[in-house]
């Protein structure tokens, strides 16, 4: 009984970490997306070529969308057998996001949020059981 209870506690903690990370990603996506109207107006009034303006606008929204989709995938994966692999492989996406964000924009609240989510995902993902032990 104690062994089962301990395993359930670890699984519950793992899912909690993954949910916390997913909430951070989702909120970051909403906040990022909320900046679109201002960005759109600034880009429209710039001297940039229309293709550059359109590309920048699209990439802005794509980043928000991919954080939302990832947050949902991580929560769903934490609930299924074999979800550990999905969480840990999926973690590569925000990891690459952080590398690119830091390279081009430096350290700012968005980079910190994605790093925090990544650390929580790594911890939660490693705590999930292997294979069909859910």
Q: How far apart are CA 81 and CA 41, in angstroms?
A: 46
pTM for this model (two decimals): 0.90
Q: What percent of the chain stands above pLDDT 90?
A: 87
Distance, CA of 67 to CA of 93 (rounded, Å):
9
What do you get for the CA distance between the two ends of the chain, in Å?
Answer: 16
Answer whether residue 20 shows pLDDT above 50: yes
In this prediction, residue 3 carries a pLDDT of: 61
Running DSSP on this structure, what letter comes out for residue 35? Answer: T
CA nearest to 27, candidates 124, 116, 125: 116
Q: What is the largest CA-CA distance in the chain?
A: 69
Residue 70 pLDDT = 98
Per-residue confidence (pLDDT) for residue 133, from 0 to 100: 52
């Amino acid at each position: 009984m104690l062994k089962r209870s301990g395993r359930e506690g670890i699984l519950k903690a793992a899912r909690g970490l993954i949910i916390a990370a997913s909430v951070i990603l989702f909120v970051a996506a909403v906040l990022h997306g909320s900046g679109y109207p201002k960005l759109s107006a600034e880009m429209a009034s710039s001297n940039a070529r229309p293709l550059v303006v359109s590309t920048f606008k699209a990439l802005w929204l794509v980043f928000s969308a991919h954080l939302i989709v990832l947050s949902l995938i991580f929560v769903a994966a934490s609930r299924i057998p074999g979800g550990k692999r999905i969480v840990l492989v999926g973690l590569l996406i925000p990891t690459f996001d952080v590398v690119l964000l830091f390279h081009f924009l430096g350290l700012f609240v968005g980079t910190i949020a994605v790093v925090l989510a990544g650390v929580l995902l790594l911890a939660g993902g490693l705590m999930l059981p292997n294979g069909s032990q859910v």
